[in-house]
Amino acid sequence: MKKIMLLLVLLSLTACQGQEKKKDNKNTAKTEAPAKGKFAVTKTDAEWKTQLTQQQYNVLRNKDTDRPYTGQYDNFFEKGMYVCAACGNPLFTSDTKFDSHCGWPSFDQAIKGSVIYKTDNSFGMERTEVMCAKCGGHLGHVFDDGPKATTGERFCTNSTSIKFIPAK
């Protein structure tokens, strides 16, 4: 069973790998992640554990990843806004969501100033991690294989890390 789970995790990571980001990519020129504890919302691990579900804690605080095609927002296209599940920071609008067929919710841009970026060299690949700018929660990764007609970016986002607020 452990071998199957490990295989599923490795497959999910490579499925969301996308194209490798170049060092001079426009995302890395944007706001880089500050040192731990330098966010507007800062809590202890114990406080996060009481506020978040176990899955939310694993994804948002420990940089885990939802299994592909299992998240509640993967095939969800209602009008509204997506906010950080940990702190409520507005992250994406439904107008920027698209179906990338990668198994995770995908957006072609984040709300300006809502996210920060960090180089992620885990699992033997270089990717750009996307984090909530308000609390530092792990949201997912951004790749340059999104819709060319808009930004060309694909914010591959964990459903667990976001909450949907319907338009009024």
Mean pLDDT of 101-121: 97
Q: Strand pairing partners for 4?
A: none
Contacts (Cβ under 8 Å, ≥6 apart) of 72:
159
Distance from C-alpha of 38 to C-alpha of 44, rounded to nearest angstrom: 13
How many structural domains compose the chain?
1
CATH number at residue 159: 2.170.150.20
Q: Specify the pLDDT at position 24.
A: 40
Q: What is the spatial order of strands in the sheet that 80-84 belongs to?
A: 90-93, 80-84, 162-166
Residue 168 in tokens: 């009024």
Report the chain's mean pLDDT, rounded to a whole number: 86
Owning domain of residue 9: 2-166
Q: Indicate which residue of 16, 84, 87, 156 is catalytic.
A: 156
Q: How confident is the model at residue 165 (pLDDT cuts 50, 70, 90)?
A: very high
Give residue 149's pLDDT band: very low, low, confident or very high (50, 70, 90).
very high
84 catalytic? Reply is no
Q: Alpha helix locations (H) across the chain?
A: 2-15, 45-51, 54-56
pLDDT of residue 19: 44
Query: What pLDDT score was predicted for residue 29?
Result: 46
pLDDT of residue 1: 55
